[in-house]
Structure 1
Amino acid sequence: MSESNFKDLGLSEEILEAIEKLGYKKPSEVQEKVIPLILKGKDVMAKSQTGSGKTAAFAIPISEKIELEENKPQVLVLAPTRELAYQIKEDFGNIGRFKRLRCSAIFGKQPVSVQVNELKQRVHVVVGTPGRTFDLIERGALDVSRINYLVIDEADEMLNMGFIDQVKDIMKKLPNKKLTLLFSATMPEEILELSKRYMKEPISIEIKAKSSVADRIKQIYYEVENDKKFNLLNKLIYVERPESAMIFCRTKENVEKLTSQMKTKGYSCNALHGGMLQDDRTSMMNKFKRGEFNFLVATDIAARGIDVEDVTHVINYDIPMEKESYIHRMGRTGRAGNRGTAITFVTSREYRFLEEIEEQFALKILKGDIPSEEEVKEGKEIYNKKLKNPVKLKKAKNKEINKEITKIYISAGKKKKIRPGDIAGTVSSIEGINPEDVGIIDIQDNFSYVEILSGKGELVLEGLRNKTIKGKTIRAEKAQK
């Protein structure tokens, strides 16, 4: 592959600055191939494994092309799970930060009213799960008349989860003149049908994994009955000493039970499952990404499309019933060129599931030897010593971007007839502030938020002390994170 650079792709300064601050050094293979095609206005079908950098492959060129002044959404991204939708929205927000892109994530288990209000403001990019997206289009809350870009992410997952008909229903409601981009780890017949029917001469791209899964991820299984699983898990934790691990259970009850058993033993762990409120799920995921705890015990919702760097181990405490879930769970480790270990517990009655997984995906999962008392004792001493060292938290991906941005709360909103232009005008009139220093403005009924870029937040707070907006006295303070 030629040594290419993001600067060679003809991107604007705002986008280049954001991707540099996000730590993107050189385009990955999928980015190198896909970005120029989207910039040229071509439909793309990309077969690419998770962890290959595909979100940025579509978010970078689309962010480049968006027209800021257009009030209606121009981009619709469909994703199979809430977690993935939220993550893509965050990625778009970070990449388009200096361009002032506004992004919204819409999904179930969150009040419709909140999402409807958000969509009443100018939003450039909408990322949603198919059910809620279709619902909001039907209600007239999501206007799709100006959609120029449709992205279908993890298309094969949409199929597995039974969302493909909803995806088709949404596609029928979108303008004919648009770019359609489809990303999938596999290309089943139905996905190919979808592309034939709804895409215009799509360019097919296949990104071969640099090294096979078998090279990157050590796969082992242990035969163990249900009542002995926890005992075996303890032994393996001491012997394997995971830096960061995801432990998968079949049901949320199993997740809760195992988390409480692990906490009783003093392990640094937390739970993640579909019964939790979305904000709690998001917060838990972010804490795990930062390395605030070592073990995330989860149902399969966390296996799909979640990108956490440096997960050293995936442990299938319960073997998955759906064969594809094994691949998705395993894909949480060994990402971005790292190595990983996938461990599966199998009861005697479940052995055939293991054989089916091996057969379908041509995998060789080796039988593990249960560690000896000697190994466990030695491992436990090392593990306990390691626990005494303070954990160094990982830096959030967008820390560099956010460093220069201050979010300011202003005590006036729609009810006082305040519009974005009023806030932008007042802020820009402060000495030392240019219109380019004003970021995203978010106006609610009784208050507003404005992001100030270029590290000039304090200057603006000072300047707003003796300013009025539209003749109204306001209170301005740093927004609570």
Structure 2
Amino acid sequence: MNNTFTDSRIRPELQTGLEKIHFDKPTEVQERVIPALLSRVNVVVQAATGSGKTHAYLVPVFNDIDETKNYVQAIITAPSRELADQLYQVAKQLRKASGLDISIGHLAGGTDRERQLAKMANKKPQLVIATPGRLLDFVEKKVFAVDSVKDFIIDEADMTLDMGFLADIDKVAAKLPKDVLFAAFSATIPVKLANFLRKYMAHPDEIIIDNPAVIAPTIKNDLLDIGSKDRKNVLYKLLTLGQPYLALVFANTKQKVDELVNFLQDQGLKVAKIHGGITERERKRTLRQVEQGQFQYVVASDLAARGLDIDGVSLVINYEVPRDLEFVIHRIGRTGRNGLPGHAITLIREEEMKRIQELENMGVHFDFVELKHGELVPRKHYRSRENRQGKNRKLDTKLVGYVKKEKRIRKPGYKKKIKRAIQEDNRQKRKLEQRHEIRKAKRLRKRKREQGR
């Protein structure tokens, strides 16, 4: 089979650049997406983070850009500042390795707008990597034209939807040329996103690389029923059981993140927090400190943490199950990356078991565990309890009592007594059902007589 990176349609400089950064063998997403985009076929790609999708679109985009023409020829959108910055760094690396003279504009909200405007005035970029809000702002203010854009890439499309940025993307996309090449990359394709993409892509190639709902085999994915125990105390015990290289705790709200950080700090742990309520300066400083190994524990909210590529996460704890169950998949996927072992623990109570069943139906497998003598030990799956209870579910409370007693008391004739009691109970229920049917039939006949008058 031919190596996608040596496709004759890819410029020799790019092929050399890929070699320099040790891209010798393409991943599955690169193998399937690069030829499609080189053939100018619109694509919707469902692929998990870490699958190599960034270079799957960067290579064709770089290949399309004419360095002699000083206007915007390609746009890549990312839903968060961190993601846009990551893409910018990866693009610069490929540009340097390839020796290409491509001008790349980096537009992100939360950064100096005037400085970005000055850069644009000085030199128009040929490739723009931007967050949706800042991109729309510059397009509407006519800082640069988009009528000659050849490639439009939406990265992390499901996160773009989650964060409410699809409307911004829509307004920009509406201004693009009719023959623009569209590509969307997403870990999941919710219905709202599929409907939006259909507006701009009539018959795209749908490329599904893997099922993101299936947790990587390198991750031990545990489910811990905390029962009546205090959730915060259980969290503290889990964080101090061993010595995780880096533990990432997820909570659903900014308030809960703050509450957990305060609690864990009171217990003597050095904890970092990441949520939408902290300033951009704090956020950058915290991430830098985490990367430098100054924190062993990080508590984060979903939207703040999605798109953050934090290396070395050895433990993920879902302190609570999120409202959007797909977030569980994104959370767990923060550990066990690049083939390294990872551990995820989801804390639940009995009343949340239905939500766990929904996750299992999505393809997420859990190992059921309990905290015993300072260790996580296996226990029977919660469904095994349902199966046992299922045998007695239709019995009256007093009959359930009989059955429970039967396990302990072994007096002669006791089994017959239970059997007779159950038979009598069933007889009474049949009588009630028959009476109900007779009354129902009478009411129906009466109604028909009244209608016939």
User: After superposition, where does 1:305-384 map in structure 2 within 5 Å?
Assistant: 305-347=307-349, 350=352, 352-359=354-361, 361-373=362-374
Whether the 8 Å contact between 2:244 and 2:314 is mirrored in structure 1 is: yes
Paired letter, 1:229 = R
Deviations 1:273-293 (A, max 9, x none): 212333443453355345453
Give the corresponding residue for 1:105. 106
State the Cα distance separating 1:144 from its structure 2 match: 1.5
Q: Tell me by how many angstroms 1:30 deviates.
A: 0.5
Match of 1:41 in 2: 40
Q: What does residue 164 of structure 2 align with? A: 162
**1:191 shift after superposition:** 3.6
What SS is found at the alignment partner of 2:69? coil
What TM-score results when the alignment is normalised by the length of structure 1? 0.68
Q: Deviation per CA, 1:93-118, whole angstroms, max 9, x where unpaired?
A: 22223324333333333343333333
**Between 137-146 and 173-182, the greater mean CA deviation after superposition:** 137-146
Which residue is 1:82 aligned to? Answer: 81
Listed as ranges, the matches of 1:204-243 within 5 Å are 204-208=206-210, 212-213=214-215, 215-224=217-226, 228-243=230-245
What does 1:145-184 correspond to in 2, within 5 Å? 145-184=147-186
Alpha-carbon distance, 1:54 to partner: 0.5
C-alpha spacing 1:352/1:108, structure 2 compared with 1 (3 Å): farther
Q: Where do 1:64-463 residues align within 5 Å?
A: 64-97=63-96, 98-122=99-123, 123-199=125-201, 201-208=203-210, 212-213=214-215, 215-224=217-226, 228-263=230-265, 265=267, 267=269, 269-289=271-291, 291-347=293-349, 350=352, 352-359=354-361, 361-373=362-374
SS in 2 for 1:205: strand
* Distance of aligned partners of 1:180 and 1:226 in 2 relative to their CA distance in 1, 3 Å threshold: farther
Deviations 1:85-143 (A, max 9, x none): 22222222222233243333333333433333333233222222323322221122242
| Matched AA of 2:131 | T
Unmatched segments (≥5 aa) in structure 1: 377-481
Pairwise CA distance, 1:47: 1.9
Q: Secondary structure at the match of 1:219?
A: strand
CA apart distance, 1:78? 2.1
Change in CA separation of 1:25 and 1:145 when aligned onto 2, cut-off 3 Å: same
| TM-score normalised to structure 2 length | 0.72
Q: CA RMSD in A?
A: 3.2
What amino acid maps onto 1:69 in structure 2?
Answer: T
- The CA distance in 2 between the partners of 1:60 and 1:147, in whole Å, is 16
Distance change (3 Å), C-alpha of 1:45 and 1:362: closer
- Rounded Cα–Cα distance in structure 1 between residues aligned with 2:24 and 2:260: 40
Q: Is the 8 A contact 1:75 1:126 kept in 2?
A: yes
Deviates more, 1:174-183 or 1:77-86: 77-86
Deviates more, 1:49-58 or 1:239-248: 239-248
Equivalents in 2 of 1:32, 1:287: separation in Å? Answer: 36
- The one-letter amino acid of 2:28's match is E
Give the conservation status (yes or no) of the 8 Å contact 2:369–2:376. Answer: no
Alpha-carbon distance in 1 for matches of 2:220, 2:52? 23
- In structure 2, give the amino acid aligned to 1:319: V
Measured after TM superposition, the shift of residue 58 of structure 1 is 0.5
Q: Which moved more, 1:190-199 or 1:240-249?
A: 190-199
How many residues are paired up?
A: 374
> Tell me, what secondary structure is at the counterpart of 2:339?
coil
Deviations 1:38-96 (A, max 9, x none): 22332222221222111111112212332223322222112222322222222222222
Greater shift after overlay, 323-332 or 67-76?
67-76
Amino acid at match of 1:204: E
- Give the Cα separation in 2 of the matches to 1:270 and 1:74: 40
1:232–1:205 CA distance, 2 compared to 1 (3 A) = same
Deviations 1:432-461 (A, max 9, x none): xxxxxxxxxxxxxxxxxxxxxxxxxxxxxx
Q: Distance in 1 between matches of 2:372 and 2:127?
A: 51
CA shift in 2, pair 1:240/1:139, >3 Å: same
